[in-house]
Structure formats: structure tokens, C-alpha cells
Amino acid sequence: MTQQLYLRCKCEILFQRDGNPVTVDDSGGPYTLDVLKGGKLVRVEVMQDGTTVEGKTVIDTPSHILDILSAVDYDSLSDAQKKALSELQAPVTESIKQLVLLLKQELPKFDIDDELIGNCKYEWSIDEKTWQRVPFGLQAYMSMLRIGSLGRAKADHIQDLLSRGEAALIATNHLHRAQAERGLRYKWIDATIAAELAIKEILIRMEPKLEVILTELPSPPLRTLYGEVLKSIAGVSASEDDLKKLGEGSRIRNRLIHSPESVPLDHNKVTNYVQFVDHLIEWLLEVSRIRRRKALQQGIES
């Protein structure tokens, strides 16, 4: 016998040092966005305080799950029960993480920590009126930071990405580190890693057969990846000027790794390079999205 119940989870967005909460535009917030995860529709709301998100879903669960949810002490659960509880929570947790990753990628500031969320508190209800805590082991995080402003246009944009199942690029983690890092050497290295990961991730999204080549074999030069390879897959390539910057960026990165004392770095040059990589990744994402839209349109027309 199964029982329909409501499950919700509220988490803190984890931020890096010296920042502030997300600014939620009062004219249209708070914003609720839909995520499909594990066959479950999860509604994730960015709360007005800009520091928390809440995910909700409805599930049909067998009666023995209710016994687990009703347990007073998490430690009293067996390993099998803990696993069942984790599997029950996973779609909501992963939906919240996916949304926060896209917030980190799409908002103009990049202060969200790579850990994304913490202090997640789960509750369940039969009637969506009376809520009870799900047994859990608390893990505390402290944070006080801000990213860019979340308005209706940006919320709609992120909802579109979620609806199409687009995941955030791993490359943006390195880009954010480059932007937050104070040391010029590490800013340059992380920015170059971001550029390298971004083109590989985008190429694999557009042509999955390239995954083995791009992940298992020695990496081609960035100039080749952003030039000839990208053009062969997407029909466009980075400009000649951008290809030159990528080539220089890679050469300097290699010298910074192997003989950093031989590379004098200027603050303005490093800042401009990080901004260049930021814009390049935005361009790559747009190339990928345009190609996907065209493919979908061609599929509809055929």
C-alpha cells in the first residue's frame, strides 16, 4: 500500500568569504522554478532573503517509508533504512543543487561557494498543513555573502535552462575561483583551466562521441579546440584575435606552473585575461544553445 505525501527541503546557499545574499527583485520575487529530477517534478523557490532556497515535491511512498520518516532518532535507523531515506530525498536535493549551480553560472557576480548548499532541513506532510521533521544528521555551515540580482527576466531564463535540462559547466567553478583569487598567478592558471574545460564540455554536449577523445587522450591546443574543432562541429569558431589570446594564455599558464618566477604579471593584464575567458565562456554557451535550438527546430520541421 502506498501513501501520497509532501516532501520539502530548505537549504542555505553557501557563499564565499566577504559577500552578501542574492538580491531578489521585489517586483516579481520570490521566484519558484520547476525542475524535473529522477522522474519527479520539484518546485524550487529562491526565498526573498536571498540566502535560502526551498524545494518541494509530491511522492507516492510505501508504508514502510512512513515508519522511517517518523523515526525520532536518525542513528536508530538501519543502513538499509538510511539508504531508502537518502534515495527519497535525492530528487529534491539534486534539484536545489542544479538551480543553485545555474544561479552561480548565470548571475553577474560569482560568490557562491563550490559546495553550493548547506544546513538542509527536510520536512514531510500528509496534508501540506502539518509538517514533521525528517530524521537527519545536522551539518552546519556559516555564510554571509551576495551574488547578482535575480529579476523576472533572469528567473525566466534559468527556468528555460532547467526545462531543457541544461546543467551548469564545471568550468565555471574554475572561472569563479579565478575571479575571487587574489594571487595573480593562480588567477591566470584557473582562468586557463576554465577555458580548457569549457570548450571540452561544450564540444561533448554538441557531439557526445568526442568524449573519449577529449577526456582520455592528450589535450589538443586551445587554439585548435576553439578554432578548427569547434568550427567542424558548430560551424563557427572563435575569432583570430581570440585564438591568439588563447594561445598566449596557455603558454603563460604553462610557464606559471613550471617556472613562475620567469613570468612577470601585471594586475591589469591578468584582470583583462580573466574577463576575456568569462566572455568567451558566455559566447560558447550561446553557440551551444543556438545549435540546440536549430536542431530542435529542424526536428520539428521534418
pLDDT in tens, 158-210: 999 999 889 999 999 999 999 988 788 999 999 999 999 999 999 999 999 99
Q: Which residues contact 42 (CB under 8 A, 6 or more apart)?
A: 34, 35, 36, 55, 56, 57, 91, 92, 95, 96
Which segment of 19-33, 137-151, 213-227 scores lowest on mean pLDDT?
A: 137-151
Highest mean pLDDT among 92-106, 146-160, 233-247: 233-247
* Helix H or strand E segment including 150: strand 149-150
Q: Which three cell numbers stand for residue 240?
A: 583570430
* Helix H or strand E segment including 38: none
Mean pLDDT of the chain: 86
3-state class (DSSP) for residue 283? helix
The pLDDT, as a whole number, for residue 138 is 47
The pLDDT, as a whole number, for residue 139 is 46
The pLDDT, as a whole number, for residue 115 is 74
Cα separation, 231 vs 181, whole angstroms: 33
Contact 53, 92 (CB under 8 A): no
The pLDDT, as a whole number, for residue 107 is 80
Cα separation, 46 vs 33, whole angstroms: 8
Average pLDDT value for residue range 280-288: 96
The pLDDT, as a whole number, for residue 69 is 87
Residue entry with cell 554571509: 144
Give percent of the chain with pLDDT exceeding 70. 90
Which segment of 145-154, 168-177, 221-230 scores lowest on mean pLDDT?
A: 145-154
- Beta strand 23-24 with 149-150 is parallel
The pLDDT, as a whole number, for residue 236 is 95
- Beta-carbon neighbour count of residue 290 at 10 Å? 13
Contact 149, 21 (CB under 8 A): no
Q: Residue 52: what are its φ and ψ, rounded to 5°?
A: -130, 155
Closest CA to 165 of 87, 102, 103: 102
Average pLDDT value for residue range 267-275: 93
Average pLDDT value for residue range 211-222: 89
Cross-strand pairs, 33: 44
The pLDDT, as a whole number, for residue 162 is 92
The pLDDT, as a whole number, for residue 266 is 86
Of residues 216 and 19, more confidently modeled: 216
The pLDDT, as a whole number, for residue 146 is 43
Half-sphere exposure (Cβ direction) of 260: Cα atoms closer than 13 Å: 9
Contact 42, 91 (CB under 8 A): yes
Contact 246, 230 (CB under 8 A): no
Q: Residue 277: what are its φ and ψ, rounded to 5°?
A: -65, -40
The pLDDT, as a whole number, for residue 252 is 95
**DSSP class of 65:** H
Cα separation, 170 vs 167, whole angstroms: 9
The pLDDT, as a whole number, for residue 118 is 87
Q: Which three cell numbers stand for residue 63?
A: 508504508
Residue entry with cell 523576472: 152
Average pLDDT value for residue range 18-31: 70
- Beta strand 52-62 with 112-125 is unpaired
pLDDT at 141 > cutoff 70: no
The pLDDT, as a whole number, for residue 217 is 83
Average pLDDT value for residue range 9-26: 77
- Beta-carbon neighbour count of residue 22 at 10 Å? 28
Closest CA to 59 of 6, 136, 106, 8: 6
Average pLDDT value for residue range 82-91: 89
Q: Is residue 18 very low, low, confident or very high in pLDDT (cuts 50, 70, 90)?
A: low
Of residues 222 and 219, more confidently modeled: 222
Contact 171, 281 (CB under 8 A): yes
Which segment of 148-157, 196-205, 239-248 scores lowest on mean pLDDT?
A: 148-157
The pLDDT, as a whole number, for residue 144 is 37
